[in-house]
Amino acid sequence: MSFYTAAIVRYGIVAPLILNGMLCAFAGFAVKRLERQINTRKAAYALYEQKKAATSKMEAEVAPLRASHKDLQLILRSDPARLFSQILDNSLPKYKRIELERSSLTFLPDKGNIGRSVNAPCSRIKSTFEGGLGPMQEILLQLESLMPQAILEDFKITRKENALTEGGEHLAFDLTHFCWKSEDKTP
């Protein structure tokens, strides 16, 4: 082999083959890396689409509840004493005096047992009723369903002495409700 042929083989064939081999290896590495990135991004996009569909489904379930949430916020912001009185005033007229009668309604100034242990605005309402157990249960159901922030703190039932003369079931109910007040925080 001559001097020129060795140079031609070295610089004309081997060097370009090595350079082309390095370029092909770099291109192959780059393609593999891009494929991994594409697969990773496709998986992330599929997860995003899945979460977006789940979010849309959840939004469809929650959307009807927003109106009731606003109603509950209004209930929590209203004065518990006024709301309590309003619920009783609307519920009691459907009963005769012998069935159920409100004897007293007092708004207590202290926080009570529950209120002392929490640092939140609250009020207590003491009410006394005379009448039957069935109507009293209906009134309590009305209070609990229309006033979710009210907690029955104390409940005493005593039989009235004149139950035998008046006939029927005549009981005295002493109730104390603890009511949360909402702090006016607008989001």
d(CA 108, CA 173): 17
The highest-confidence range among 7-11, 33-37, 92-96, 110-114, by mean pLDDT, is 33-37
d(CA 147, CA 145): 6
Q: Are strands 100-108 and 150-159 parallel, antiparallel or unpaired?
A: unpaired
pLDDT class for 169, splitting at 50, 70, 90? Answer: low
Does residue 164 surpass a pLDDT of 70?
A: no
Check residue 187 and give its pLDDT: 45
Helices marked H in 9-162 — which ranges? Answer: 15-62, 65-77, 80-91, 112-117, 133-146
Q: What is the mean pLDDT of residues 2-31?
A: 87
Check residue 168 and give its pLDDT: 58
pLDDT class for 166, splitting at 50, 70, 90? Answer: low
Check residue 6 and give its pLDDT: 77
Q: What is the mean pLDDT of residues 144-164?
A: 81
Check residue 119 and give its pLDDT: 75
Check residue 5 and give its pLDDT: 81
* Global pTM value: 0.56
The greatest distance separating any two alpha carbons of the chain, rounded to the nearest whole angstrom, comes to 139
d(CA 182, CA 75): 9
Helix (H/G/I), strand (E/B), else coil: 26: helix
135 is written with which tokens? 């109507």
User: In 3D, which of 121, 182, 125, 183 has the Cα closest to residue 151?
Assistant: 125
Check residue 19 and give its pLDDT: 93
Contact 124, 168 (CB under 8 A): no
Question: Which range (21-25, 85-89, 169-173) has the least confidence?
Answer: 169-173
The highest-confidence range among 111-115, 174-178, 179-183, by mean pLDDT, is 174-178
User: In 3D, which of 88, 124, 90, 83 has the Cα closest to residue 103?
Assistant: 88
Does residue 30 surpass a pLDDT of 70?
A: yes
Model confidence over 65-117: pLDDT tens digits?
Answer: 887 878 777 777 777 888 888 888 888 888 887 788 888 888 887 777 777 77
